[in-house]
Structure 1
Amino acid sequence: MYEHDIAPELGSTTLGTQTMETDNFTNNTVQETFNNSSHGNVHLYKLIGYCAEVPIAFMAIFGNILVCWAVHHNPRLRSVTNYFIVSLAVADFLVGSLAIPFALTTNARRPKNNFFACLFMNSWVVILTQSSILSLLAIALDRYFAVLSPFKYRRIATARRAAGVIAMTWILAFLIGSPPMLGWNLLSEHPDEEDCIFTKVIDLRYMVYFNFFGFVLPPLLIMLFVYVRIFQAVKEQVVAISRTMVANDDEMARQRSALAVKEGRAAKLLAIVILLFAICWLPIHILNCISVFCGDDTVPYDVLLPAIILSHANSAMNPIIYTLSNRDFRRTFKKLIFKVALCGLIGYKKYDSANEYTGYTYGSHGMHMRNGMRNTPKNSPKHPMEGGTPIPLRKLPLQLQSNGDKTETPTSSAAIPKEISS
């Protein structure tokens, strides 16, 4: 009896042990599958990030360097408004050169086991975003006073004051973006976190309540009000001046009307810049709000990653907008690109001190084209383009045409071509 009783007990014990081992094996297999899937997703996100972010970074770096160089190179672009645009371009350049590489590093979950390095890298994005917003706000207020109080604006809008405002915007941007580095972070909640993840180091409550509701949304609403008021003022001015022109046929009224239309076009260009900024940056802030109000796991990373890429893409858009909408920027961009890319092998336009085109300079044979006249040192080889001129010429005065085949270069200012339209 004893042996028969003990055998079933041994059999049941063996069966229970096999069942536990099977369950452990299943759990381990599921965990390994999950980990492999997680690592696979990380690699996929890294691939998507590199494919999308690297071209954006190159475009942001190249385009915004071109914006800064154009304002420095062309005296016609040196205005108070364009100084604020340069400040915005510097912020966008830093997004391409610092923020996007930091984002790609974070996307790869690096650096490992270094909370403060990860915190520093992610805080830069906040600082540069805030600098862009404050620069856009300064541009909007600059246009507001230029349209509504043009005479007072000309007295107070100086390069020195613009430099002071730009310095203030950057100081405020650093102050607004520094709380995570000063203690408002998640170190106490994730002290042993191995991977570098934005939501593991930056408190989303700081991003939503302090950053978005305090210093992103209010400036955007102020800019919306400012540009609505600008367009209303421009429309009213054009209508009032048009009535004056019909009544008096006044040349001064005609000039004022042209100036009002010009200010309206400038405001329209900058309004497009601000609209694109809002379209690119509001999605990521809205997703942050959803995460705070509905839980951290509400927004999947598949949705978050495109929003992050869209926010970074804004830094590459502004130079394209300037090129398409502003003739002075467009012509200066073309000139600088030709000058750099062709390295003097063919002619490039040059500005003189009065900001007029003086002709084309050829770097290879010491030849200069001035108003279509060739000025080449003796015994130098002929240039392939010797027979013509690459720029359209004004018709010469009659007294110069009557000189026959004389090749003297005219000294009259009427014979020097003005700026060529692109």
Structure 2
Amino acid sequence: MDILRFATAGSVDDGKSTLIGRLLFDSKAIFEDQLEAVERTSRDRGTEYTDLSLLTDGLRAEREQGITIDVAYRYFATPKRKFIIADTPGHIQYTRNMVTGASTADLAIILIDARKGVLEQSRRHAFLTTLLRVPHLVLAVNKMDLVDYAEEGFEEIREEFTSFASKLNAADLTFIPISALHGDNVVSRSENMPWYQGSSLLHHLENVHIASDRNLVDVRFPVQYVIRPHNATSQELHDYRGYAGQVAGGVLKPGDEVTHLPSGLSTRISAIDTFDGPVEEAFPPMSVTLRLEDDIDISRGDLICRPNNQPNAAQEIEAMVCWMADTTKLQPRSKLIIKHTTRTARALVRDLQYRLDVNTLHRDESATALGLNEIGRVSLRVTQPLFVDDYARNRLTGGFILIDEATNGTVGAGMIVDAR
């Protein structure tokens, strides 16, 4: 059974947390004590219905203000698929949280209030999800019950958003009218909207095709850890040497010829081990241990790939960076630590080419720094080669994080545009 990771995004009060609560409730993925606690809190507030948003808004500040601040992760499953949900905040000051939640998503649900239509924050989150190369986009027009389930309002929003999406790189776009509060078109089709002939939201989530979204062409295996038992009780274990990591691209099989970077030496895969035993092939996002036919000096941060299909070994990197620090700014000549897959190096910010206004898509080339939640195109110089692909080709080998040398805190997230 495969896993679908999806994130919810959209403007404030569009009902993201309520939608997730409805999905969990209607799919019977809530424990009785959880539901009792939510019902009790709802009664204490004097609401006439069970506030399902409380299932995800767990922080005290979130419950007091009725908003989502941090990214909340929830898990549930149906007979067809397992799901990991990231409930991301809608406020502009929490853009970094939204980027964090959507960075690993296979699909994003952007909610729009049927009464308000497409707002600035809706456009911002749509742009960010396409910037992060989320393969599938669902526009859920929520609160249809408050517009008498009218088809006209839904169609107006569909046309407006389709026009805006034509400026973005949105590969797969689906529109679904819903009412998260009452459950219309969330888990099952709604009788209140007979004019809508599409599937319910859960049916779409269960059946959207994600296997081909991952890069199965370019073999990329960043080495995370070298397994060498030191207290082996048998000769077989004593001679064991395996290279553990997560497959970032391509398909690996025993007998395949592979190349080690940075040495450039080639060998073949002798076996692929997992916790459950040997397997005949490995593909993203499997975590496996490779055994090779020849002894090569391999350590954490190195990469295994195909001899005739290698990533760029780059020290000059251009990337779109989302700045996440509230105490410092990203400026030219800043010195940071860059973490790319399992490799860590020091980096110098050579230039800030422009700051991007995510609401208007305007490029401000006069900008001299990036502040909290701002996004811009940055040129970096790295102290040692990183084995990278463009983010558009591979999200794992095309993405990185920036770390403050003094505090060891994550201050930025980047998507590689060009490398040499």
Structure 1 length-normalised TM: 0.25
Whichever of the two has the greater Rg, that structure is 1
Q: Tell me which protein shows more helix as a share of its residues.
A: 1
Q: Tell me which protein shows more strand as a share of its residues.
A: 2
Structure 2 length-normalised TM: 0.25
* Structure of higher RCO (CA pairs closer than 8 Å, 6+ residues apart): 1
